């Protein structure tokens, strides 16, 4: 994953300006901000509010509503593990629990070295090859306990 | 002559190594000096065989699967044509019983064509539907969709033609200075992946379907709302839109534009009014109906909001006529449904068939039973808001009304199989917890009830006054069912109550181990 850029107000404003005049521009703006800064920095909320003629509370309300938007950057790598029913039926919960225990973290946490964030997700649409996951946007399925060794290697741990 | 080798680019195939197989094929061919062309397709939907590759021969395509990169050198050991005696050879794909028994209409091209080739799309019947729609005229097109009996494939089952007519009938005097087509590709139900397969495997059919909808109701702008969990689908659709624009199939000449919008991880945005709020840039909270989206939808304008599969089925309905489609199915469920077999099932995959197959045929016969080899004990149909069916109800035909009559729903067609190691009290608890995680917070039964329900289910699992707490859950489910604005709160009772009703033994047995967890 590309490293999150440090906060830069001019950069943020140029991202926001790209969406000028677009219908319902809020989500596209937030996605683009997060793609660059690794999160929607609290400082960006005021800029988005000004650009869209909304209150900061309204923008914060949107940022906090959606599971995808972060207020802090994630670790260098993000693993989304599916916890939905199809993956449950293939023992996904037990594998996930064992992996979290091995790392000594819980859902949503980042390892102390900052390398890996493990998040719960509810369905990746890979349900016929359960259990499944996504590492930095790349799908992985038919997970076994050895798949997690590969994941850790990819994450450089 | 160059031999074409087809390797899926579908996310599920990639998730089990299709990219590595494609790279190995290219490397091996280069080393051996074989003239081949690797074509990345969608998936045929036979996921237990993925990565399944297909090699073009004079007698048609021959499939091999499940392949790994290590199997590639063996495949080409005897040069070309490859030998059908290879241990991973599964013969002609069309002859594999799982595929042979299907009636592929919506998925006719998926897994066969290069998803990003308009020439391929046209060669396989693409744009015949739009052509016929133009010859019928806007009203005639709406009429044709109505006659086909197509109903909303997102789960609600509302007749698509009637929805279109409502939007078509709105006038500028009613605030319809512009209208919208919105495609709901926020496919969040566990056990479903049909939308994803179409977007990755046959994106132009969706573009054609949305274009026909725009023509039929007088809309010039379409939004395609794709969930963020589908990065591959987003990439393919965005590319397909650019290709269609380059040929004038979208844009000013076509009088119709499509824009992809990406969700942000909220399950509730699959609910149509939440999705509209999200598109408008707001929190994805449901709206009370009326007004219907058909009258006041996106930005207050008349809006056709349809599930992706509904829209992707329209081109075939127009191309081959409403009767051809309506002749399939049973009762008021006309045409075909892409059933998605998932979870603990031996032959997991997409099975498009006319309505009317029984659940038992789907699970035991087509799915081949469980992947674990243990007895199938429970089947959840229709996603996380769908009921759990026991073996005793395996005679239920796959049909909107038949499932409703048994306190279930077919939803978006997902079928998730569980073997006998499943703990149904835990599944019921999960349904409530999921509702709590994903509730938009607009109405009280869903926002508070889901949390209280989870806590109460914890007590039942711990063996704390099970009977009294089950009565409380039953009462709570009544409140959720009748007091929620949308299907999230309204349907959460289905998995909960079906688990309690059909698997009562899981709610009353002492479970020291579970309590200790």
Would you call A129 and B417 a contact, using CB atoms and an 8 Å cutoff? no
Would you call B190 and A25 a contact, using CB atoms and an 8 Å cutoff? no
User: Mean pLDDT lowest for which of B83-97, B181-195, B196-210, B498-512?
Assistant: B498-512
CATH 3.40.50.720 fits B123-326, yes or no: no
Three-state DSSP state, B306: strand
Return the percentage of chain B with pLDDT > 70, whole number: 98
Which uninterrupted H or E stretch holds B314? helix B308-320
In a domain, A1, yes or no: no
Mean pLDDT over B493-514 rounds to 87
Q: Which chain A residues contact residue B438 at CB under 8 A?
A: 122
Does the pLDDT at position A86 exceed 80? yes
Does the model's ipTM exceed the 0.95 cut?
yes
Please, where are the H alpha helices in B377-423? 400-405
Give the CATH number for residue A138. 3.40.30.10
CATH architecture of B3-100: 3-Layer(aba) Sandwich (3.40)
Cis preceding-peptide flag for A61 (omega within 30 of 0)? no
Of A28, A67, A86, which is closest to B343 when you measure between CB atoms? A86
In a domain, A126, yes or no: yes
pLDDT tens profile B223-243: 999 999 999 999 999 999 999
Would you call B341 and A128 a contact, using CB atoms and an 8 Å cutoff? yes
Distance, CA of B344 to CA of B380 (rounded, Å): 11
Does the pLDDT at position B348 exceed 60? yes
Does the pLDDT at position B515 exceed 90? no
pLDDT tens profile B420-474: 999 999 999 999 999 999 999 999 999 999 999 999 999 999 999 999 999 999 9
Q: Are B106 and B313 in contact (CB under 8 A)?
A: yes
What's the domain count of chain A?
Answer: 2
A61 & A82 share domain:
no
In a domain, A55, yes or no: yes
Mean pLDDT over B369-396 rounds to 98
For residue B80, name the pLDDT band (cuts at 50, 70, 90): confident
Mean pLDDT over B326-347 rounds to 98
pLDDT tens profile B291-317: 999 999 999 999 999 999 999 999 999
Distance, CA of B448 to CA of B436 (rounded, Å): 8
A148 & A84 share domain:
yes
A91 & A144 share domain:
yes
| Phi/psi of residue B283, nearest 5 degrees | -60, 140
CATH architecture of B329-419: Roll (3.10)
Best of A23, A55, A89, A126 to substitute, by most chain B Cβ atoms within 10 angstroms, is A89
A148 & A81 share domain:
yes
Per-residue confidence (pLDDT) for residue B85, from 0 to 100:
84
Q: Which chain A residues contact residue B48 at CB under 8 A?
A: 128
Ranges for all domains in chain B classified under CATH 1.20.1440.230: 424-516
Per the prediction, chain A carries an average pLDDT of 96
A107 & A43 share domain:
no
Ranges for all domains in chain B classified under CATH 3.10.20.600: 329-419
Residue identified by tokens 């020291």 is: B512
Would you call B191 and A90 a contact, using CB atoms and an 8 Å cutoff? no
A61 & A81 share domain:
no
Q: Between residues 100 and 129 of chain A, which touch chain B (CB distance below 8 Å)?
A: 121-129
| Contacts of residue A133, Cβ cutoff 8 Å, sequence gap at least 6 | A79, A80, A81, A82, A124, A139, A140, A141, A143, A147, A151
Bridge partners of residue A139, in order along the sequence: A134
pLDDT tens profile B403-422: 999 999 999 999 999 999 99
Ranges for all domains in chain B classified under CATH 3.40.50.11540: 123-326
CATH class of the domain at B424-516: mainly alpha
Mean pLDDT over B484-496 rounds to 97
Helix axes B128-148, B160-168, angle to 10 degrees: 110
Of A67, A123, A137, which is closest to B190 when you measure between CB atoms? A123
pTM comes to: 0.97
Per-residue confidence (pLDDT) for residue B83, from 0 to 100:
81
Q: Between residues 70 and 99 of chain A, which touch chain B (CB distance below 8 Å)?
A: 80, 82, 84-90
Of B264, B267, B341, which is closest to A69 when you measure between CB atoms? B264
A96 & A124 share domain:
yes
Does the pLDDT at position B149 exceed 60? yes
Long-range contacts of B119-128 (CB under 8 A, 24+ apart): B121/B202, B121/B204, B121/B205, B125/B319, B126/B204, B126/B205, B126/B208, B126/B315, B127/B208, B127/B249, B127/B315, B128/B315, B128/B318, B128/B319
| Contacts of residue B18, Cβ cutoff 8 Å, sequence gap at least 6 | B7, B8, B9, B10, B50, B51
Distance from CA of A134 to the nearest CA of B (A): 9
Q: Which chain B residues contact residue A107 at CB under 8 A?
A: none
In a domain, A2, yes or no: no
Mean pLDDT over B130-156 rounds to 97
- Domain of A15 in residue numbering reads as 9-65
Per-residue confidence (pLDDT) for residue B1, from 0 to 100:
77
Would you call B281 and A26 a contact, using CB atoms and an 8 Å cutoff? yes
């Amino acid at each position: 994953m590309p490293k999150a850029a440090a906060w830069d107000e001019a950069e943020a404003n140029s991202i926001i300006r790209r969406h000028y005049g677009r219908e319902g521009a809020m989500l596209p703006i937030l996605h683009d901000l997060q793609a660059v800064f690794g999160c929607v920095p609290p400082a960006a909320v005021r800029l988005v509010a000004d650009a869209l003629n909304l209150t900061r509370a309204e923008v914060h309300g949107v940022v906090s509503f959606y599971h995808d938007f972060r207020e802090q950057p994630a670790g260098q790598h993000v693993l989304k593990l599916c916890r939905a029913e199809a993956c449950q039926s293939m023992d996904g919960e037990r594998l996930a629990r064992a992996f979290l225990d091995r790392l000594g973290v819980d859902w949503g946490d980042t390892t102390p070295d900052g390398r890996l964030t493990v998040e719960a997700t509810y369905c990746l649409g890979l349900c016929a090859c359960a259990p499944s996951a996504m590492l930095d946007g790349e799908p992985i399925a038919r997970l076994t306990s050895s798949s997690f060794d590969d994941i850790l290697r990819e994450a450089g741990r | 002559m160059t031999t074409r080798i087809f390797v899926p680019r579908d996310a599920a195939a990639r998730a089990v190594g299709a990219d590595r197989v494609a790279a190995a094929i290219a490397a091996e061919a280069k080393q051996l000096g074989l003239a081949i062309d690797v074509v990345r397709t969608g998936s045929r939907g036979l996921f237990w065989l993925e990565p399944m590759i297909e090699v073009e021969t004079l007698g048609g395509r021959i499939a091999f699967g499940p392949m790994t990169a290590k199997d590639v050198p063996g495949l080409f050991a005897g040069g070309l044509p490859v030998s059908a005696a290879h241990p991973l050879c599964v013969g002609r794909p069309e002859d594999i019983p799982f595929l042979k028994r299907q009636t592929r209409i919506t998925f006719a091209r998926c897994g066969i064509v290069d998803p990003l080739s308009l020439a391929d799309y046209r060669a396989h019947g693409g744009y015949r539907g739009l052509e016929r729609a133009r010859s019928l005229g806007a009203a005639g097109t709406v009429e044709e969709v109505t006659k086909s009996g197509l109903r909303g494939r997102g789960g609600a089952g509302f007749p698509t033609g009637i929805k279109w007519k409502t939007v078509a009938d709105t006038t500028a005097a009613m605030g319809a200075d512009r209208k919208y087509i919105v495609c709901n590709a926020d496919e969040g139900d566990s056990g479903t992946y049909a939308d994803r397969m179409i977007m990755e495997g046959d994106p132009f059919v969706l573009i054609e379907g949305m274009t026909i909808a725009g023509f039929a109701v007088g809309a010039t702008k379409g939004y395609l709302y794709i969930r963020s969990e589908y990065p591959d689908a987003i990439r393919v659709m965005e590319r397909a839109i650019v290709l269609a624009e380059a040929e004038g199939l979208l844009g000013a000449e076509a009088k119709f534009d499509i824009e992809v919008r990406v969700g942000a991880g909220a399950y509730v945005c699959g609910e149509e009014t939440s999705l509209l709020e999200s598109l408008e840039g707001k929190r994805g909270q449901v709206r009370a109906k009326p007004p219907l989206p058909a009258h006041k939808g996106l930005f207050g304008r008349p809006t056709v909001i349809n599930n992706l599969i509904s829209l992707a089925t329209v081109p075939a309905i127009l191309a081959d006529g409403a009767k051809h489609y309506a002749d399939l199915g049973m009762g008021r469920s006309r045409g075909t449904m892409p059933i998605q077999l998932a979870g603990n099932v031996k032959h997991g995959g997409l099975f498009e068939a006319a309505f009317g197959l029984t659940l038992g045929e789907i699970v035991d016969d087509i799915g081949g039973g469980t992947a674990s080899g243990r007895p199938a004990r429970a089947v959840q149909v229709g996603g996380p808001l769908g009921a759990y069916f026991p073996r005793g109800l395996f005679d239920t035909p796959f049909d909107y009304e038949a499932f409703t009559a048994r306190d279930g729903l077919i939803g978006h067609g997902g079928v998730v199989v569980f073997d006998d190691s499943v703990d149904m009290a835990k599944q019921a608890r999960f349904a409530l917890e999921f509702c709590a995680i994903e509730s938009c917070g607009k109405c009280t039964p869903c926002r508070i009830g889901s949390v209280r329900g989870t806590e109460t289910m914890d007590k039942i699992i711990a063996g704390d006054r099970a009977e009294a707490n089950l009565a409380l859950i039953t009462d709570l489910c009544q409140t959720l069912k009748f007091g929620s604005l949308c299907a999230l709160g309204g349907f959460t009772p289905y998995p909960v109550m079906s688990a309690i009703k059909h698997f009562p033994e899981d709610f009353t047995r002492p479970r020291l181990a579970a309590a200790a967890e």
